[in-house]
Amino acid sequence: MSVLIDKFDVFAGGFWLTLQICVLAAIGALILGAVVAVLRISPVPPLRAVGTAYVNTFRNLPLTVVMFFAAFGLPALGSNADFLRIPVLDSLFNRLGTDLPYFRFALIALVLYTAAFVCEALRSGVNAVPAGQAEAARSLGLTFGQNLRYVVLPQSWKASIVPLGSVIIAMIKNSALIGFFGVVGDLSATADQLTGAEGYAFIPVAIGISIGYLIMTVPLGALLDRIEKRQAVAR
Amino acid sequence: MTTGEPLIVLDSVNKWFGPLHVLDEVSLSVGRGEVVVVIGPSGSGKSTLCRTINRLEPINSGAITFDGQPLPAEGKALAKLRSEVGMVFQSFNLFAHKTILENVTLGPIKVRKEKPAVARERAMALLDRVGIANQADKFPAQLSGGQQQRAAIARALAMQPKAMLFDEPTSALDPEMVGEVLDVMTSLASDGMTMVVVTHEMGFARHAANRVIFMADGQLVEDAPPAEFFANPRSERAKDFLSKILTH
Ligand SMILES: Nc1ncnc2c1ncn2[C@@H]1O[C@H](COP(=O)(O)OP(=O)(O)OP(=O)(O)O)[C@@H](O)[C@H]1O
Ligand SMILES: [Mg+2]
């Protein structure tokens, strides 16, 4: 087990990188997912169709395939995803601004994929609001946007928050894939490095990595449990 | 009672839910200040008729005009039209996360862009008119059904609508609360509000309505003044319907 102490800096580095991509991907997926959710519930049929097509595509493809498209498709299109080199953000999350584009590619794939699930979590919250609420708002003359803002969303976020949390936890675990698509040094890639190149025993390394993921996921899960209990009491 | 051109006109309106023909060549016109009560057996299309008038349900063919204008399609113009037509639902549909006062002021503030103080003042006057001014700061769940429905009427009136649609406003109420809601509606009717009311309250139909419309299987079967309709309904369907509800 000494590897946990000897190679603490490697684990910590992997943890930090995984945390970075997860924070960025969570922000991206929440924003994109919200946009897709608005499309899916919009009164305009073509917009609804776009939203539905998006969800059906990304929810039903394996993340690996989406990663493949991002890692091999974007370069083939001549893109290095440089639009993600966002000033300020890239000094906080240093991999965002590197010349090697794989972190950005992986981030895009994770965002695209997770946004489909975020959309559905938000929509399940909206569906939990009785249809009569939105109908009453429409009959007063509120526009679609006003209806969402003043009537539906204030009542739906409560029902969305727990499924959203589950989506983010799943995303953190899914991020373990990025090591296979050229991102060097995330938490799961740490295993490869330590057991392969440096010859450490597998089990202790795996335990170290598990601890890293659990540090991110367990508090989130506990928070969700608390929110869920509070909502149960309020009901 | 009726003056000038009618306020609401339905011309050969057809509506299908899938294979179900819910509105079958329905033509109807409602004059300004007129009170039209819609009755008929369950599933005959009364709610659907009511909901087509502010386009909560779009129609498949035919035409509907409100105040001389054809109903606009989705968008700003439709929102404006809806703001001019008050709607009261069977299940009240008060905004659950807002107080009664906020329920009544939301439309005037957000749709009409009124100053909050102005909207509040009129809201309080309306709540007073329907007898629940003392409930203004409570949430809908804290009120009785009858109080909630009166709040919902006040919410619709706050938009100063040209017409009011009621879809079985008293059907979800305990019997002892029906009267308080009907009283408010009767006073609205006598103030000259144009009203389309789907209801099973035959007393209200007799006393407050100018016309009674009887629907069956999506068709408008009879259209007559209440005295005439109740004394001698012409169709078998209406006779049958009346014999069923009046014996209870
Ligand atoms: N959204 C919908 N989708 C499919 N069918 C519907 C829908 N709304 C209503 N219907 C059907 O259309 C028919 C007419 O419904 P509607 O609600 O207008 O009847 P109603 O006269 O108001 O009946 P009730 O007295 O029970 O309220 C019914 O058979 C109903 O099942
Ligand atoms: Mg009905």
Q: CATH no. for residue A26? A: 1.10.3720.10
Complex prediction ipTM: 0.92
pLDDT digits (tens, 9 = 90+) for A35-82: 999 999 998 899 999 999 999 999 999 999 999 999 888 888 888 888
Q: Would you place residue A190 in the very low, low, confident or very high pLDDT band (cuts 50, 70, 90)?
A: confident
Q: Would you place residue B3 in the very low, low, confident or very high pLDDT band (cuts 50, 70, 90)?
A: low
Rounded CA-CA distance B158/B100 in Å is: 12
- Predicted pLDDT of residue B113: 96
pLDDT greater than 60 at residue B248:
no
- Predicted pLDDT of residue A174: 94
pLDDT digits (tens, 9 = 90+) for A16-42: 999 999 999 999 999 999 999 999 999
Rounded to an integer, the average pLDDT of A190-201 is 85
Please indicate whether residue B43, judged by its CB atom, sits closer than 6 Å to ligand 1.
yes
What number of other Cβ atoms are within 10 A of residue B42's Cβ?
Answer: 7
Average pLDDT over chain A reads 91
B85 within 8 A of B162, measured Cβ to Cβ = yes
Average pLDDT over chain B reads 94
**Partners of residue B66 on adjacent β-strands:** B8, B69
Chain B CB within 8 Å of residue A157 CB: no
- Predicted pLDDT of residue A79: 82
Greatest Cα pair distance, chain B, in angstroms, is 55
Domain range spanning residue A83?
Answer: 3-233
Please indicate whether residue B44, judged by its CB atom, sits closer than 6 Å to ligand 1.
yes
Closest CA to B53 of B193, B160, B149, B194: B194
Rounded CA-CA distance B120/B128 in Å is: 12
- CB-based contact B97 A143, cutoff 8 Å: no
Alpha carbon separation from A164 to A3, A26, A177, B143, B161 (Å, rounded): 36, 10, 21, 33, 41
B135 within 8 A of B100, measured Cβ to Cβ = yes
Which residue has the least CA distance to atom 30 on ligand 1? Answer: B43
pLDDT greater than 50 at residue A2:
yes
Q: Would you place residue A84 in the very low, low, confident or very high pLDDT band (cuts 50, 70, 90)?
A: confident
pLDDT digits (tens, 9 = 90+) for A101-116: 889 999 999 999 999 9
pLDDT greater than 70 at residue B50:
yes
pLDDT greater than 80 at residue A99:
no
- Predicted pLDDT of residue A189: 85
Q: Would you place residue A197 in the very low, low, confident or very high pLDDT band (cuts 50, 70, 90)?
A: confident
Rounded CA-CA distance A129/B6 in Å is: 37
CA–centroid distance, residue B41 to ligand 1 (Å): 11
- CB-based contact A150 B87, cutoff 8 Å: no
Residues in Cβ contact with B40 at an 8 Å cutoff, skipping those fewer than 6 apart: B46, B214, B215, B216, B221, B241
Q: Would you place residue B1 in the very low, low, confident or very high pLDDT band (cuts 50, 70, 90)?
A: very low
Tokens (6 digits) for A103: 């972190």
Q: Is B69 exposed, middle or buried (0-12, 13-18, 19+ CB in 10 A)?
A: exposed
Please indicate whether residue B20, judged by its CB atom, sits closer than 6 Å to ligand 1.
yes
Encoded amino acid at B172, one letter: A
Rounded CA-CA distance B22/B6 in Å is: 24
CA–centroid distance, residue B49 to ligand 1 (Å): 10
pLDDT greater than 50 at residue B87:
yes
Three-state SS at B44: coil
Tell me how many domains chain A contains: 1
Rounded CA-CA distance A78/A62 in Å is: 24
What DSSP character marks residue B110? I
pLDDT greater than 80 at residue A217:
yes
- Predicted pLDDT of residue A235: 62
Strands (E), chain B: 8-17, 20-30, 35-39, 61-66, 69-70, 85-88, 163-167, 194-198, 211-216, 219-224
- Predicted pLDDT of residue B99: 97
pLDDT digits (tens, 9 = 90+) for B201-210: 999 999 999 9
Residue by residue, DSSP assigns A180-212 as GGT-TT-HHHHHHIIIIIS---HHHHHHHHHHH
pLDDT digits (tens, 9 = 90+) for B134-174: 999 999 999 999 999 999 999 999 999 999 999 999 999 99
